[in-house]
Amino acid sequence: MPQSRLIDFYCEVSALIRRDLVKQKMLLPPENILELCREHCRTHRDLKSVLTLPGARSEKNNSKKIVGVIQKNFPEDGTLMADFDCLQQAGKYEAAACAAVAVVTEKNFYGGAPSMLTGVTHLVKPPVIRWDFIIDDYQLMQSVLWGADAVRLTVALLDQYELNKFIEQAVSLKLEVVAEVLNQSDWDRIKPLLPQIAAVYIDEPTVSKEELNSLLLQIPADTPALINGDRWNDDLYGFLCDGALFFRGKTPIKD
C-alpha cells in the first residue's frame, strides 16, 4: 500500500475510533478512569531492556529481537487469520522466545478487543504492547487498566503538541512508547523525544532496503530500532536494526 493511501486509511480508522470514544467516555468519564488508573496496581515489564541487543546493528550480526503481533484481521489485503485464538498465539510466541508480544485492539477494521489484551497480559511473561491507533489520552488510561506495558504511537496521526503530550502522559502512567515512523519527516519530529521513547518502529511500505537502512543509521544505538519482519523476512539480517515485528503468526524462530 503506497504511503499516501496508508495514511488516508489510518485517518479513516481514527475517525471511527473518535466516534467510539465519545460513547466510551459517557460510560466511564475521563475523571473516573483517571482515578482507577491511580488505584491500579501492576508489575511493569520493561520493554526497552528486552529489546536492547548489543551489537545487533553490526553487519555481521545474525541475531535479532522478535516481537510477535496478535492481529485477527488484515484489512490491507482483506485476509483473516484462520482459526484465530489470541491466547494460543500468545503462548506460541512466548514458547518461541519472542522478546515481547503486541496485541492489535482496534475493533472496526482489525477485529481486536480489550479482552484480547487483558487475556494475553495475564498469560505471558514478556512485555505486552497495545498496538492501536492512539489519538486521545483516554486511550492511554485504558491501556493501563487493560494491562499493557507499552503503547504504539503513530507519529503521522499526531501533531507535535499531541505527540509531546501523549508521550509525557504515557511516561507518567508508567507506559513505555513505541514510536511508529513512516518517513524522514516523522523521524525528525520524534528525534528530540528519544529519551522518553522505548523503541522506534519503521514501517514504510514503499521504501527500498537502502532507504530503510539510511533511516536506521540515524537511530542512536541506545534506542532499539524495529522493522516489519513480514515484509523483510527474506533479508532480515541484512538490516542494521535490533529486531522486527511479525504480524501473521510466523517468525524466524522455530516454535
Is residue 146 assigned to a domain? yes
- Exposure of 10 by Cβ count < 10 A (0-12 exposed, 13-18 middle, 19+ buried)? middle
What is the C-alpha separation between 114 and 36, in angstroms, rounded? 16
**Quick check: helix, strand or coil at residue 10?**
helix
Range of the domain at 171: 3-41+48-246
pLDDT at residue 252, as a whole number: 58
Q: What total number of domains does the chain contain?
A: 1
The list of the chain residues with pLDDT below 50 reads 254-255
Is residue 102 assigned to a domain? yes
**Secondary structure element (H or E) that encloses residue 15, with its range:** helix 3-27
Is residue 254 assigned to a domain? no
Give the type of residue at 17: I
pLDDT at residue 250, as a whole number: 65
Output the pTM of the full model.
Answer: 0.93
pLDDT at residue 232, as a whole number: 84
C-alpha cell at 110: 482489525
Q: What is the CATH number of the domain that holds 64?
A: 3.20.20.70
pLDDT at residue 65, as a whole number: 92
Q: Nearest to residue 131, comparing CAs of 106, 155, 114?
A: 106
Is residue 252 assigned to a domain? no
Q: Nearest to residue 248, comparing CAs of 221, 227, 228, 224?
A: 228
pLDDT at residue 207, as a whole number: 74
Is residue 77 assigned to a domain? yes
- Relative orientation angle of helices 137-146 and 160-172, to the nearest 10 degrees: 30
Is residue 196 assigned to a domain? yes
Q: Are 22 and 198 in contact (CB under 8 A)?
A: no
Is residue 134 assigned to a domain? yes
pLDDT at residue 62, as a whole number: 65
pLDDT at residue 203, as a whole number: 85
φ, ψ for residue 226, nearest 5 deg: -120, 150
pLDDT at residue 255, as a whole number: 38
pLDDT at residue 67, as a whole number: 97
pLDDT at residue 161, as a whole number: 97
pLDDT at residue 189, as a whole number: 97
Is residue 255 assigned to a domain? no
C-alpha cell at 29: 468519564
